[in-house]
Amino acid sequence: MQPIEHQWIHVAFEEKTQFTETYGFAGSQGTVNLEGVLIRPVGEHSRTLFLLMHPSTTLQLLPLPSALACAGHAVLCMGSRYVKNDAPLIYEKVALDLGACVRHAKERLGYRKVVLLGWSGGGSLALFYQSQAERPDIKQTPAGDPVDLTVAELMPADGVIVEAAHLSRARTLCDWIDPSVRDESNPDDRNPEFDLYSPNLPVRPPYPADWLRAYRQAQEQRVRNITARVRETLEDLRRRGGAELERGFVTHRTLAEPRFLDGTIEQNDRPIGRCYLGVPETANTGPVGLARFSTLRGWLSQWSIDDSRADSERCAARMSVPLLAIEHSADDAVPQPDTGRVFRACASKDKTMHCIQGANHYFQGQPEHLTHAVNLIDAWAGRFEA
3-state DSSP of 198-245: CCCCCCCCCCCHHHHHHHHHHHHHHHHHHHHHHHHHHHHHHHHCCCCC
d(CA 356, CA 331) in angstroms, rounded, equals: 10
CB neighbour burial string for 127-140, b if at least 16 within 10 angstroms, e if fewer: bbbbbbbbebebee
Q: In this predicted model, what pLDDT tens digit does every residue of 204-219 receive, in sequence order?
A: 999 999 999 999 999 9
Mean pLDDT for each consecutive 10-residue tract of the chain (386 residues)?
93 88 72 96 92 97 97 97 95 98 98 98 98 98 97 98 98 98 97 98 98 98 98 98 96 98 97 96 94 98 98 98 98 97 98 98 97 98 85
Provide the pLDDT for residue 21: 82
Question: Residue 116, Cβ neighbours under 10 Å: how many?
Answer: 28
| Rounded Cα gap, residues 138 and 130, in angstroms | 13
Other C-beta atoms closer than 10 Å to the C-beta of 309 total 22
Evaluate whether 276 touches 361 at the Cβ level (below 8 Å).
yes
Q: What is the pLDDT of residue 20?
A: 81
Alpha-carbon distances, residue 290 vs 17, 70, 71, 157 (angstroms): 26, 33, 34, 29
- C-alpha distances in Å from residue 291, one per residue of 61, 94, 172, 220, 265: 23, 17, 10, 15, 24
Residue 278: helix, strand or coil by DSSP? strand
C-alpha 305/C-alpha 116 separation (Å) is: 24
CA–chain centroid gap for 288, Å, is: 15
Tens of pLDDT, residue by residue over 80-115, are 999 999 999 999 999 999 999 999 999 999 999 999
Taking the C-alpha atoms of residue 307 and residue 207, their distance in angstroms, rounded to an integer, is 30
Q: Which domains does the chain have, with CATH numbers?
A: 4-168+308-384 (3.40.50.1820), 173-303 (no CATH)
- DSSP readout, 79-115? E-TTTT--TT--HHHHHHHHHHHHHIIIIIS--SEEE
Q: 3-state class of 250 per DSSP?
A: strand
- Tell me the HSE value of 379 on the side-chain side, using a 13 A CA sphere: 8
For every residue of 29-41, DSSP letters joined together read: SSEEEEEEEEEEE
Neighbours of 9 (CB within 10 A): 18
249 - beta bridge partners?
Answer: 294
Please report the pLDDT score of residue 27 as a whole number.
61
Confidence at residue 17, expressed as pLDDT on a 0 to 100 scale = 83
Q: How far apart are CA 353 and CA 376, in angstroms?
A: 10
pLDDT of residue 26: 61
Q: What is the mean pLDDT of the chain?
A: 96
Residue 269 has what DSSP assignment? S
Q: Read off φ and ψ for residue 275, nearest 5 degrees.
A: -150, 180
Q: Give CA–CA dist 1/367, Å, rounded.
A: 14
* 99 close to 129: Cβ distance less than 8 angstroms: yes
Q: Are strands 323-328 and 351-356 parallel, antiparallel or unpaired?
A: parallel
